């Protein structure tokens, strides 16, 4: 079996920033209240003329440049998103055309904030089996379009952006790449984080709110438990020790959740990557953006062992142990 290595990483953030002081003008809250409960000072937000495919395209371009590849080298394109430009066609098809890829397979993957790690698991299987040489995976979301800016429990969290990996085949003995992945779900909790309106159950204009609804306290407890358990599962599966992990990179949902996961694992805070303060929670994009940020600022180096863990509405959760 081949190895699946992370050959390229890229990300893209919209330029518009929504600060806590601006949110203070929308709902009854304060900068101190928001930062204490979430760790967020500002979040990146799409302009009216920007959408998910725009962010996905730019992140994909950056990952390809980092990998030293051309769009025509890519064999499969997967976009993890909850916020497509249109209900159909897939965002991936728009990105495939805009990049100038060959007529390759291109599809969207719908697994909320665990979507990018789900896409990574799919890419891993295709590459390790020898079906594809290079798979481009993108996590991209425009959550601001589905955020209720009259709900102070959710409008303080959500943001927009995209991140991407190029996952490539290798038979080089020196490479390790993706060591293990895992994905889980429990649909009994779907109502704790969902968008009631806009789907086939309750189409747009038929009364249900087409904005994110969340039971924050319930999600907090579930998130900490499943992400910590996932990290322990991956360590047990691979026989690795916690001390071997160079960086823990959780889904950037909330700084208190990130801190609680690290504490639950007894993992040193200085080895946890957090980008939420100035970016916010952009769903499937948070992990690749965090990885890209830590590579660009020099924290993550080639050869480092990364523990990636995420959870999202569904509930879905998962993780990946990767040597970069």
The full set of domains in the chain, from first to last, is 3-170 (3.40.47.10), 178-323 (3.40.47.10)
As a whole number of angstroms, the distance between CA 196 and CA 119 comes to 25
Which residue among 132, 155, 251, 254 is the active-site one? Answer: 251
Clarify whether 251 is annotated catalytic: yes
Q: What is the pLDDT of residue 1?
A: 87
- pTM (two decimals): 0.98
The DSSP output letter for 13 is -
Question: Which pLDDT does position 319 carry in this prediction?
Answer: 98
Position 204 scores a pLDDT of 84
Q: In what helix (H) or strand (E) does residue 36 lie, and over which residues does it extend?
A: helix 31-38
20 is catalytic: no
Residue 38: partners with Cβ closer than 8 Å, 6 or more residues away: 156, 157, 254, 255, 256, 276
Predicted pLDDT of residue 208: 87
E strands in the chain: 3-12, 17-19, 42-44, 76-80, 105-109, 134-142, 160-170, 178-185, 193-194, 213-214, 247-250, 305-312, 316-323
- Looking at 20, 101, 132, 281, which residue is catalytic? 281
Q: Give the per-residue pLDDT at 20.
A: 98
CA dihedral 48, 39, 81, 285 (to 10 degrees): 100
Q: How far apart are CA 46 and CA 210, in angstroms?
A: 18
What is residue 205's predicted lDDT score, i.e. its pLDDT?
81
Low-confidence ranges of the chain (pLDDT < 70): none
Q: Is 207 left (phi over 0), alpha (psi -120 to 50) or beta?
A: left
- The predicted pLDDT at position 188 comes to 98
Length of the chain measured in residues: 324
Task: Give the DSSP letter of residue 269.
Answer: G
Cβ atoms of 237 and 212 within 8 Å: the answer is no
Predicted confidence at residue 12, as pLDDT, reads: 98
Residue 101 catalytic? no
Q: Which of 113, 132, 134, 254 is catalytic?
A: 113
Q: CA angle, corner 168, sides to 164 and 171, nearest 5?
A: 155
Residue 253: both structure tokens together: 């949902």
Q: Is residue 64 within a helix (H) or strand (E), and if so which, with residue range? A: helix 52-67
């Amino acid at each position: 079996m081949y190895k699946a290595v992370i050959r390229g990483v890229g990300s893209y953030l919209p330029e518009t920033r929504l600060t806590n002081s601006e949110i203070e003008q929308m709902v009854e809250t304060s900068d101190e209240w928001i930062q204490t409960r979430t760790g967020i000072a500002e979040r990146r937000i799409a302009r009216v003329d920007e959408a998910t495919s725009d962010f996905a395209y730019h992140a994909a371009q950056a990952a390809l440049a980092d990998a030293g590849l051309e769009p025509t080298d890519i064999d499969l394109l997967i976009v993890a998103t909850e916020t497509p430009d249109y209900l159909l066609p897939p965002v991936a098809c728009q990105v495939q055309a805009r990049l100038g890829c060959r007529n390759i397979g291109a599809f969207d993957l719908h697994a909320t904030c665990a979507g990018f790690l789900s896409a990574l698991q799919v890419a891993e299987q295709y590459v390790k089996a020898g079906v594809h040489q290079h798979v481009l995976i993108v996590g991209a979301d425009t959550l601001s379009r589905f955020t209720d800016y009259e709900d102070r429990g959710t409008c303080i969290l959500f943001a927009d952006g995209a991140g991407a990996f190029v996952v490539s085949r290798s038979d080089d003995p020196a490479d390790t790449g993706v060591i293990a992945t895992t994905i889980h779900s429990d649909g009994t909790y779907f109502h704790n984080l969902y968008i009631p309106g806009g789907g086939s159950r309750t189409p747009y204009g038929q009364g249900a709110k087409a904005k994110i609804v969340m039971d924050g306290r319930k999600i907090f407890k579930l998130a900490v438990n499943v992400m910590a358990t996932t990290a322990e599962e991956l360590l047990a599966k691979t026989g690795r020790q916690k001390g071997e992990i160079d960086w823990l990179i959780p889904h950037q949902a909330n700084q208190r959740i990130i801190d609680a996961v690290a504490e639950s694992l007894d993992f040193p805070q200085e080895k946890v990557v957090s980008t939420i303060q100035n970016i916010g929670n952009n769903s499937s994009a948070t992990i690749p953006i965090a990885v890209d940020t830590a590579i660009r600022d020099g924290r993550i180096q080639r050869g480092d062992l990364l523990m990636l863990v995420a959870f999202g509405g569904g509930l879905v959760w998962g993780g990946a142990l990767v040597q970069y």
